[in-house]
């Protein structure tokens, strides 16, 4: 069986006051052994909070374009066109 690989790019908004409040709710629920409220789950994209902030889907935005040239493939990101609160860009490969 051949395993494929796909490349992706996502942005992150750094933790702000809302992130910190949602994280406190998350931690309190985990500590108490109770379900995390749906709005908190949605805020963190149904994943455990990441100390770097909230992941933002940017791959489909106009600021991200696929890059292909002979022997090269990837993404180009026009930084000035990113959402203003995105301060980190992560490129990753999934297998």
Instruction: Name the residue among 14, 87, 88, 91 with its Cα closest to residue 51.
Output: 14
- Of the pLDDT bands very low, low, confident and very high (cuts 50, 70, 90), residue 66 is very high
Mean pLDDT over 65-92 rounds to 92
34-58 residue pLDDT tens = 999 999 999 998 999 999 898 889 9
What's the pLDDT at 2?
A: 58
Q: What is the mean pLDDT of the chain?
A: 92
- Distance CA(22)–CA(93), nearest Å, equals 29
What φ, ψ does residue 84 adopt, rounded to 5°?
A: -55, -30
What residues does 65 pair with on adjacent strands? 76
Asked if pLDDT for residue 4 goes beyond 90, the answer is: no
Q: Concatenate the DSSP letters of all residues of 3-70 into one string.
A: PP-EEEEEEEEPP-HHHHHHHHHHHHHHHHT-PPPHHHHHHTTTS--BTTBEEEE-TTSTTEEEEEET
Say whether 94 sits in a helix, a strand or coil: strand
- Distance CA(15)–CA(41), nearest Å, equals 16
What's the pLDDT at 1?
A: 56
């Amino acid at each position: 069986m051949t395993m494929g690989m796909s490349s992706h790019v996502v942005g992150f908004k750094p933790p702000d006051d809302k992130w910190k409040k949602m994280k406190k709710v998350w931690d309190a629920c985990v500590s108490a052994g109770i379900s995390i409220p749906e709005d908190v789950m949605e805020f963190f994209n149904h994943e455990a909070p990441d100390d770097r902030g909230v992941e933002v889907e940017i791959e489909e935005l106009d600021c991200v374009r696929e890059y292909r040239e002979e022997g090269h493939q990837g993404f180009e990101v026009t930084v000035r066109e990113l959402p203003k609160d995105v301060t980190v860009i992560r490129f990753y490969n999934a297998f």
